[in-house]
Structure 1
Amino acid sequence: MSVRALVVDPSVSESVRPADVPDPVAGPDQVVLEVHHASLNHGDLNDARTGRVPPGAVLGSDAAGVVVQAAADGTGPAVGTRVVALTAGAFAERTTVGVDGLAPVPESVDLVTAAALPVAGLAALRSLRAAGLTSRKRVLVTGASGGVGRFAVQLAAHAGAHVIASVGSAGRGEGLAKAGAAEVLIGLADLDRPVDIVIDNVGGPQLVEAWSMLAPGGSLQSVGWTSGQPATFPPYSTIGPAKSLTSFVNEGEFAADLAILVQLVAEGALRTEIGWHGSWENVAEAGKALRGRQVNGKAVLDIDTHGRRHAAEDVVVEPR
């Protein structure tokens, strides 16, 4: 059997196209997930364009759907459970997920919302944790209009921090004050006091500028590099009172932190803003909008499987 998926193809627009690929085969500690929605990240586009995901391989990281085959070793959720997952090859009708890479989604949270959480939500949550977030700290979030940025603003504000959101234009700042930003700046020119934490999604010259505004003992977490520009530090700019610039990547087990994010959504403490939502057949359109900074928040793809059977027809549930 085969499934429909979005695979890497450097010869087409956004380097991704639909194709049939073999039906996924789960390992003993993996479930098979029927994917209903997936979100598109800058990292996915970069993976396709740079060759980090090879031609012909299924793209994607964020998925939400329903378990149609439980893990053979007895761990993880049962068949029929709604889950959100971070897994390679998410852009497919069905994919495999390790039980340490998913979390159940309660009925009060729709799967479109859940699909937007994994990469961006985990990056925001974990980078703030790594930076030593506590209440009353001054937190600068650059590229705050994107997926990671909007989650970071909300999570830092929820923790009681003074949050400064930096965006590229007034329009990109819409909704950030409501999300918890005490200040919304265009660029960093009006940043007049040092900050304790920087969550940087932009890179390039703005990373250098943000570094110069980091207080002694502060932490700059380099989460993204949407500018695509080099960062050139002036001589002696890294000499002085101790502060840190730390590279960041999502790695390890994700289940516990995904559960935290889902719970915050269920409680109304975390809101997902979806700036583009449509069929996965329009992935090139979504990619262009994302790269062109026309999407505030997340871009979510509906995995339209016109011949999708009901889960009850796809699986056999063995009696206990």
Structure 2
Amino acid sequence: MQALMIDHSAPGHLALTTVADPEPAAHQALVRVHSFSLNSGEVHHVIPEGEPGTVPGWDAAGVVVQAAADGTGPAAGTPVVTVGADGAWAELRAVDTALIGTAPAGADLGPISTLPVAAGTALRVLHRVGPILGRRVLVTGAGGGVGRFTLQLAARGGAHVTAMTSDPAKADALRALGAHEIVTDLAALQHLEPVHGVVELVGGAHMVGAHGALAEHGVLVAAGHISGDGEQFPYRAFFGDSRRHNRQIVTYFLLDDAAGLGDDLTWLAALTARGELDPQVALRTDWSEAAWAVAELAGRRVPGKAVIDIP
């Protein structure tokens, strides 16, 4: 089969080449990939730092060509959306059936390929925050892939959503996705009405400021670290005698949370197919231009998700 392989001597560290077909384990289905999407972590870390000769890629959508031998998962011919630690950027992918969601028949698999890491993380992190109907939720890094899905799902769940972005020009677009309130600088966090939950995607000073905005018994879920900065909390930030005690900071990583993920991906795919969830696809091309697309995303010139189709 053809696949995009990590090759540090090639433009963009990627080479389209012939590799052996994957051999699925008993609990895996073999999927013919139609489209895959790019994620920030892939373009900034996996590709430049990856092992030469490996096939990268987390998110992909396609059609099952061989059902799992153990009888789990969808039948051959089923359109699906998949996630895994690698192997998505290829014509064929062997995927654990627990990490497969089904897509509606006839749906455009390009937008659906954007869902696993970004929308899956957004949904699971909101579950970790707890009940959000009628509560206040703050999303930092709201203009990124996970952030945009989080805004839509939190608003759908009945939350009052505050979006934090470093780019004021994104304010109207974030409101269109469900944000009720926009914050563009850290100092403004001190004046927010306390929030019940935080989806924290930036790290560094943003995590510190967002923790300070938590209400009593509030939960901050750290699911991204795009700043690359560490955190230094001020004295008394964790004292238990303040008005806001029993606040939690927890971390989240999607691939360590596989139970029920296939069902969540199926639900997200149906929402997307009905036009009720907008993946915000801003770049779509075929894999002959994958290195260019990776460079565009790494350079922050893609104001949304990037989708690569396999001809």
Look up the match of 1:284.
291
Q: Deviations over 1:80-99 (max 9, x none)?
A: 21111112210111111121
* Alignment check: 8 A CA contact 1:58 1:90 kept: yes
Shift of 1:293: 2.7
How many residue pairs were aligned?
Answer: 301
Shift of 1:198: 0.9
Q: Deviations over 1:63-84 (max 9, x none)?
A: 0011112222233222221111
Shift of 1:128: 0.6
Q: Does residue 110 in structure 1 map to residue 108 in structure 2?
A: yes
Q: Does residue 77 in structure 1 map to residue 74 in structure 2?
A: yes
* Alignment check: 8 A CA contact 2:43 2:297 kept: no
Look up the match of 1:100.
98
CA 1:207–1:49 in 2, change beyond 3 Å: closer, same or farther? farther
Alignment map for 1:27-176 (pairs within 5 Å): 27-48=25-46, 51=49, 53-87=50-84, 88-107=86-105, 109-176=107-174
Shift of 1:46: 4.2
* Whole-angstrom distance in 2 between the partners of 1:185 and 1:209: 12
Q: Deviations over 1:248-275 (max 9, x none)?
A: 1002232111112123224443221112
Alpha-carbon RMSD? 1.9
User: What is the letter of the counterpart of residue 63 of structure 1?
Assistant: A
* Whole-angstrom distance in 2 between the partners of 1:187 and 1:20: 48
* Alignment check: 8 A CA contact 2:44 2:298 kept: no
* Whole-angstrom distance in 1 between the partners of 2:199 and 2:139: 5
* Whole-angstrom distance in 1 between the partners of 2:215 and 2:41: 29
* Alignment check: 8 A CA contact 1:124 1:151 kept: yes
CA 1:287–1:183 in 2, change beyond 3 Å: closer, same or farther? same
* Alignment check: 8 A CA contact 1:15 1:48 kept: no
* Whole-angstrom distance in 2 between the partners of 1:138 and 1:255: 28
Shift of 1:147: 1.2
Look up the match of 1:200.
200
Secondary structure at the counterpart of residue 299 of structure 1: strand
Secondary structure at the counterpart of residue 256 of structure 1: helix
Moved more, 229-238 or 99-108: 229-238
Secondary structure at the counterpart of residue 67 of structure 1: strand
* Alignment check: 8 A CA contact 2:108 2:273 kept: no
CA 1:101–1:44 in 2, change beyond 3 Å: closer, same or farther? same
Secondary structure at the counterpart of residue 275 of structure 1: strand
* Whole-angstrom distance in 2 between the partners of 1:50 and 1:289: 15
Secondary structure at the counterpart of residue 188 of structure 2: coil
User: What is the letter of the counterpart of residue 225 of structure 1?
Assistant: H
* Whole-angstrom distance in 2 between the partners of 1:187 and 1:161: 22
Secondary structure at the counterpart of residue 190 of structure 1: helix
Alignment map for 1:265-280 (pairs within 5 Å): 265-280=272-287
* Alignment check: 8 A CA contact 1:14 1:45 kept: no
CA 1:195–1:13 in 2, change beyond 3 Å: closer, same or farther? farther
CA 1:226–1:281 in 2, change beyond 3 Å: closer, same or farther? farther
Moved more, 86-95 or 150-159: 86-95
* Alignment check: 8 A CA contact 1:158 1:269 kept: no
* Alignment check: 8 A CA contact 1:135 1:161 kept: yes
Look up the match of 1:222.
222
TM score, norm. by length of structure 1:
0.87
Look up the match of 1:311.
none
* Whole-angstrom distance in 1 between the partners of 2:181 and 2:27: 45
* Alignment check: 8 A CA contact 2:13 2:48 kept: no
Structure 2 stretches lacking a partner, 5+ long: none
Q: Deviations over 1:8-51 (max 9, x none)?
A: 23455554333322111111221111111101111223442574
Q: Does residue 242 in structure 1 map to residue 242 in structure 2?
A: no
* Whole-angstrom distance in 2 between the partners of 1:21 and 1:174: 45
Secondary structure at the counterpart of residue 33 of structure 1: strand
* Whole-angstrom distance in 2 between the partners of 1:54 and 1:264: 36
Shift of 1:190: 3.0
Alignment map for 1:174-189 (pairs within 5 Å): 174-189=172-187
* Whole-angstrom distance in 1 between the partners of 2:171 and 2:290: 25
